[in-house]
Structure 1
């Protein structure tokens, strides 16, 4: 097997490092979106997120070569994730205001986040983050299909474990939601930056710059 060569082992090491970073980001999104739900629905939302990420990553991994050739795909994914980030920020702000009103005895109970809202946020974020993960892993695992498969399995396992932990943590310490949001914002802006660098030469050529 190609994985037992020095090149294969190096590729595997690179993939593990990428998975540790990107699977963690994905887990933050799932945990943040699921944290506003009732405990029974939270587990279902996390399961939906993991299944969606699994299906998306398998689908994207199967067309990796074609994806790497699509100019502007990374930029589009980053913009999509930025939109999810903005929606989550509004929810966190609304929940914080509601908590403050509740403590002062002034506020009325606002409707809880629905399962559908959480699941939609998770799936949309999964689309862009799975794209980023697959492109990054594919870049490290070139010509090593076994490494690509191992990387896919590792990222899904780490995501499931971390998302449950993060959702529970967010319910106990609400301020951590802002830390999670900052992580997602960084990933989105990083994707937009890298996508812009990729697209810029083509835009400059089209405008004669």
Structure 2
């Protein structure tokens, strides 16, 4: 019973983290979709959004499958964890319009769909890596994460962006979630296990230090911008 509870808790924790990652990182992708299709006639906008999102999710699934394999290679979990850590910092440092200023609108549905797919794959790499890391390479959890991201991207992201702008603490929560995931990924690196085994409470202290460090960097940076 204890083992079953532990397994269920691990799955539940992964599901909650994946949903949180989707909520935080899915908002930008909706802005990309809106900007790429804004010059289309109203009758074609929905088609472009549905087609573009469908193909983008398929590409994400392929990237996630590749990520599962890559995370089994020595030192890749360490590198991926460090990369996620910098994504967490970047989430707090970037201005809301900087990541979208180079997204051009298209006057044709094909052009809009192409823009949506390319931009989503490039911008969604952090989402794919974070989900792959949080799922502990469980293909079913990765599929769940990608499926959950669809309605978030299509329907909920503008609402999320609104609340993120209105309540900046949400962004800090998202960055903390990514920092926690990055620390967990680093701690799972096989090559580090001989060192980690000799460090008491490292699984509690290291994620906490990562979260505090990211939040302090973001808070200090935003304070400087305010002045």
Q: TM-score, normalised by structure 2?
A: 0.54
Q: Could you say what secondary structure the match of 1:5 adopts?
A: helix
Distance 2:9 2:179 in 1: 28
CA displacement at 1:159 relative to structure 2:
0.6
Residue number in structure 2 paired with 1:45: 52
Instruction: Work out the CA distance in 2 between the residues paired with 1:5 and 1:12.
Output: 11
Q: d(CA) in 1 for partners of 2:142 and 2:101?
A: 34
Q: Number of aligned pairs?
A: 167
Structure 2 matches for 1:49-64, cutoff 5 A? 49-64=56-71
Instruction: Assess if the C-alpha contact under 8 Å between 2:18 and 2:134 holds in 1.
Output: no
Per the alignment, residue 139 of structure 2 pairs with: 149
Q: 1:158 aligns with which of 119, 137, 148?
A: 148
CA-CA distance at 1:189 after TM superposition: 8.4
Bigger shift: residues 65-74 or 50-59? 65-74
Aligned pair 1:134/2:132, yes or no?
Answer: yes
- Distance of 1:22 and 1:166 partners within structure 2: 14
Gaps of 5+ in 1: 96-110, 139-144, 199-209
Mind listing any 5+ residue stretches in structure 2 that lack a counterpart?
A: 38-44, 187-227
TM-score when normalising by structure 1: 0.58
Distance 1:37 1:177 in 2: 22
2: distance between equivalents of 1:180 and 1:48? 32
Compared with structure 1, are the counterparts of its residues 6 and 45 closer, same or farther at alpha carbon in structure 2 (3 Å cutoff)? same
Q: Which residue of the partner structure matches residue 112 of structure 1? A: 105
Tell me, what secondary structure is at the counterpart of 2:35?
coil
Q: Which range moves more in the overlay, 16-25 or 37-46?
A: 37-46
Structure 2 CA distance, aligned partners of 1:188 and 1:120? 24
Aligned-residue RMSD, C-alpha: 4.3
Instruction: Answer yes or no: is the 8 Å Cα contact 1:45–1:118 preserved in 2.
Output: yes
- The alignment status of 1:66 with 2:63, answered yes or no, reads no
Distance in structure 2 (CA, Å) of the matches to 1:92 and 1:181: 19
Higher RCO structure, 1 or 2 (CA under 8 Å, sep 6+): 1
2:35 pairs with 1:36:
yes
1:121 to 113, 119, 122: 119
Q: Secondary structure at the match of 1:112?
A: coil
Conserved? CA contact 1:75–1:191, under 8 Å: no
User: What is the CA–CA distance in structure 2 between the aligned matches of 1:88 and 1:119, rounded to whole Å?
Assistant: 21
